[in-house]
Amino acid sequence: MTTSPAPALSRQAWIMIAASAAIVTLAMGVRQSFGLYLSPMVMDLGISRQTFGFVLALQNLLFGAVQPFVGAYADKHGAGRVLLIGTAMYAAGMVVTAYATNALGIGIGFGALVGMAMSGVTFVVTMGAVGKIVPPHKRTLAFGIITAGGSLGQFFVVPLAQALIEGIGWQNSLTALAIMLLLIAPLAFGLMSRRGAPVTPRPEGLPLGAALKQACADRSWWLLFGGYFVCGFHVAFVGIHFPAYITDQGLPATVGATGLALIGLFNIAGSWLWGAWGGKYSKKHLLAVLYSLRGVAIIVFLLAPLTSVSALVFAASFGFLWLGTVPLTNGLVAQIYGLRNLSALTGLVFFGHQIGAFLGAWTGGLIFDATGSYQLVWYISIALAFTAGLANLPIRQTPPTALPARA
Contacts of residue 300, defined as CB under 8 A and 6 or more positions apart, other chains included, come to 314, 317
> Does residue 203 surpass a pLDDT of 60?
no
Q: Give residue 205's pLDDT.
A: 61
Mean pLDDT for 163-189 is 92
> Alpha-carbon torsion 364, 368, 369, 370, what sign?
positive
| Structure confidence at residue 388 as a pLDDT band (50, 70, 90) | very high
**CATH architecture classification, 12-391:** Up-down Bundle (1.20)
Contacts of residue 254, defined as CB under 8 A and 6 or more positions apart, other chains included, come to 162
DSSP secondary structure, 204-255, as one string: P---HHHHHHHHHT-HHHHHHHHHHHHHHHHHHHHHHHHHHHHHHTT--HHH
Q: Give residue 93's pLDDT.
A: 94
> Does residue 31 surpass a pLDDT of 90?
no
Q: Give residue 3's pLDDT.
A: 46
Q: Give residue 194's pLDDT.
A: 43
Cα-based distances in Å from 85 to 6, 80, 91, 114, 345: 37, 9, 10, 12, 21
Contact 266, 319 (CB under 8 A): yes
Q: Which of 263, 267, 242, 262 is nearest to 253 (CA)?
A: 242
pTM of the predicted structure, to 2 decimals? 0.73
Q: Which of 163, 182, 164, 159 is nearest to 174 (CA)?
A: 164
Q: Give residue 232's pLDDT.
A: 92
Q: Give residue 351's pLDDT.
A: 84
Spell out the alpha helix ranges (H) of 46-198: 49-77, 79-98, 103-106, 114-118, 123-131, 136-181, 184-187
Give me the helix-helix angle, 49-77 and 123-131, nearest 10°: 20
Q: Give residue 4's pLDDT.
A: 46
Q: Which of 227, 153, 253 is nearest to 388 (CA)?
A: 227
Q: Give residue 198's pLDDT.
A: 45
Q: Which of 119-123, 193-197, 296-300, 399-403 has the lowest mean pLDDT?
A: 193-197
DSSP class of 36: G
Mean pLDDT for 127-142 is 78
| Burial track 233-270 (b if 16+ CB lie within 10 A, e otherwise) | bbbbbbbbbbbbbbeeeebebebbbbbbbbbbbbbbeb
> Which pLDDT tens digit goes with each residue over 246-285?
888 888 878 887 888 788 789 888 888 888 888 788 989 9
Collapsing DSSP to helix, strand or coil, 338 comes out as coil
| Structure confidence at residue 24 as a pLDDT band (50, 70, 90) | confident
| Structure confidence at residue 239 as a pLDDT band (50, 70, 90) | confident
- Distance from C-alpha of 67 to C-alpha of 85, rounded to nearest angstrom: 14
> Does residue 195 surpass a pLDDT of 80?
no
More confident residue, 38 or 94: 94
C-alpha 22: how far from chain center: 14
- Distance from C-alpha of 287 to C-alpha of 292, rounded to nearest angstrom: 9
385, amino acid identity? A
Mean pLDDT for 96-106 is 89
Q: Which of 206-215, 275-284, 324-333 has the lowest mean pLDDT?
A: 206-215
C-alpha 9: how far from chain center: 25
For the chain, what are the domain ranges?
Answer: 12-391
- Distance from C-alpha of 354 to C-alpha of 62, rounded to nearest angstrom: 8
Q: Give residue 150's pLDDT.
A: 66
> Which pLDDT tens digit goes with each residue over 332-348?
888 888 777 777 787 78
